[in-house]
């Protein structure tokens, strides 16, 4: 069950506007409103899942689809050759700001190495 206020659930249901690049029954892809790279997309399950900690086997297909769609979106942005980064933040210490599972696709410039 989604929390009382979830921005991603609001985008999915049409209650909040966002630049949606892809949407189907399981997944949507939107542009991040505070990008940290020239290409910064969010891949978001439409069904509310708070995070990986709460993801059961029932979302394993959705997780697989997120990775497949990330590759497709990188191709659409012409970033498959130069490269891209996929990030899933889990929990407050990781920097997760929205308690709804999502994946960041970052590309468009050389990214710094992660420590």
In a domain, 20, yes or no: yes
In a domain, 15, yes or no: yes
Residue 15: CATH number of its domain: 3.30.428.10
In a domain, 45, yes or no: yes
pLDDT at 24: 95
CA–CA separation, 113 and 110 (whole Å): 9
What residues are paired with 40 via a beta bridge? 106
Number of separate domains in the chain:
1
Q: What is the pLDDT along the chain (115 residues), one digit of tens a residue?
A: 555 789 999 999 999 999 999 999 999 999 999 999 999 999 999 999 888 876 677 778 888 999 999 999 999 989 988 999 999 998 889 988 999 999 999 999 999 988 7
In a domain, 17, yes or no: yes
In a domain, 67, yes or no: yes
In a domain, 28, yes or no: yes
pLDDT at 1: 52
In a domain, 114, yes or no: no
User: Is the distance from CB of 8 to CB of 96 less than 8 angstroms?
Assistant: no
Instruction: Give the three-state DSSP class for 44.
Output: strand
Range of the domain at 31: 7-107
Instruction: Give the three-state DSSP class for 84.
Output: strand
In a domain, 113, yes or no: no
CA–CA separation, 9 and 14 (whole Å): 9
pLDDT at 55: 67
The candidate with the shortest Cα–Cα distance to 27, out of 11, 4, 50, is 11
- Which residues are identified as catalytic? 102
pLDDT at 71: 96
């Amino acid at each position: 069950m989604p929390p009382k206020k979830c921005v991603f659930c609001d985008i999915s249901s049409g209650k909040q506007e966002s630049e949606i690049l892809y949407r189907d029954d399981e997944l949507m892809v939107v542009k991040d409103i505070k990008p940290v790279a020239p290409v910064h997309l969010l891949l978001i399950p439409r069904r509310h899942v708070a995070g990986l900690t709460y993801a059961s086997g029932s979302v394993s297909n959705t997780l697989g689809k997120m990775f497949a769609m990330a590759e497709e979106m990188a191709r659409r942005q012409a970033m498959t050759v130069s490269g891209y980064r996929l990030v899933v933040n889990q929990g407050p210490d990781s920097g997760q700001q929205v308690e709804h599972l999502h994946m960041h696709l970052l590309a468009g410039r050389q990214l710094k190495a992660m420590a």
